[in-house]
Amino acid sequence: MRPLKLIDHAGSHSTSPPSHTQNVRWPSLKLTLLITTLLFSSPAFTTNFDTREYTLKAVFLERFTRFIDWPNDKTAGEKTTPFVIGIIGKPDFSALLREIYQDQKIQGRRVIVKDLNHLETLQNTHLLFIANISDSKLKKVLGKVQNTSILTISDAEGFAERGVMINFFMSRKKKIRFEINQQAIKQSNLYISYKLLSFAKIVGANSK
């Protein structure tokens, strides 16, 4: 069985967690102002799309990338190469992401957001957001990304247990929280920070 690949605060790789955790830095002033504007405006999205909720999730996506390393990404040091986010089944979210990240960067790189209707177009994708799709389609998607360097994220109930790496859920106090499937991370070519694990609810084979 593969060990969980961890990165410490300095960015070096490890397979065992350090003995302490440190505080996490959250949004910059520029991004905070943009978030505030979006939260109190009314963009033209469908009526069943919660703009406020998904604006916060959009920010979480960028924050997650600060604690993930793509070791097989040969373009990681090239600032002219975009960071690619793929969206399956949530066009309103992809539109919101384009609005938020049109002038913002992820890992120092400009952001491209793609609506993916065919799994063949997954190539060069760094982060894949999966909406509440059918079990059969989810199985196909996860089979396609297994053993790759694509970070999978969703907000559908039960998707973490089914193999999505990071899954949003609402707490009893209606706060956005997230869970991580350690086994899914192990089966990928990604490294994850122990600090991100400390903020998450752990599910999968190694959950307690």
- Residue 178 CB neighbour total at 10 angstroms: 18
How do residues 107-154 score in pLDDT, each as one tens digit? 999 999 999 988 877 888 999 999 999 999 999 999 999 889 999 999
Question: Does residue 37 have a pLDDT over 80?
Answer: no
Packing angle between helix 91-101 and helix 29-39, nearest 10 degrees? 140
- What does the pLDDT read at residue 39? 46
CB 86 within 8 A of CB 114: yes
Rounded Cα distance between 148 and 141, Å, is 12
Q: What is the pLDDT of residue 99?
A: 92
Average pLDDT over every residue of 8-14: 53
Q: Per-residue confidence at 155, pLDDT binned at 50, 70, 90?
A: very high
pLDDT tens digits, 171-191: 998 899 999 999 999 999 899
Residue 170: strand pairing partners: 176
Closest listed residue to residue 112, CA positions, set 199, 72, 7, 123: 123
Residue 38 has pLDDT above 70, yes or no: no
* Domains of the chain as residue ranges with CATH: 29-74+81-203 (3.40.50)
Q: Whole-model pTM?
A: 0.80
Give the pLDDT confidence score for residue 22 in this predicted structure. Answer: 38
Per-residue pLDDT of 40-61, as tens digits, reads 454 544 456 788 899 999 999 9
**Is the per-residue pLDDT at 24 higher than 60?**
no
Question: What pLDDT, on a 0 to 100 scale, did the predictor assign at position 71?
Answer: 80
C-alpha span between 83 and 64 (Å, rounded): 13
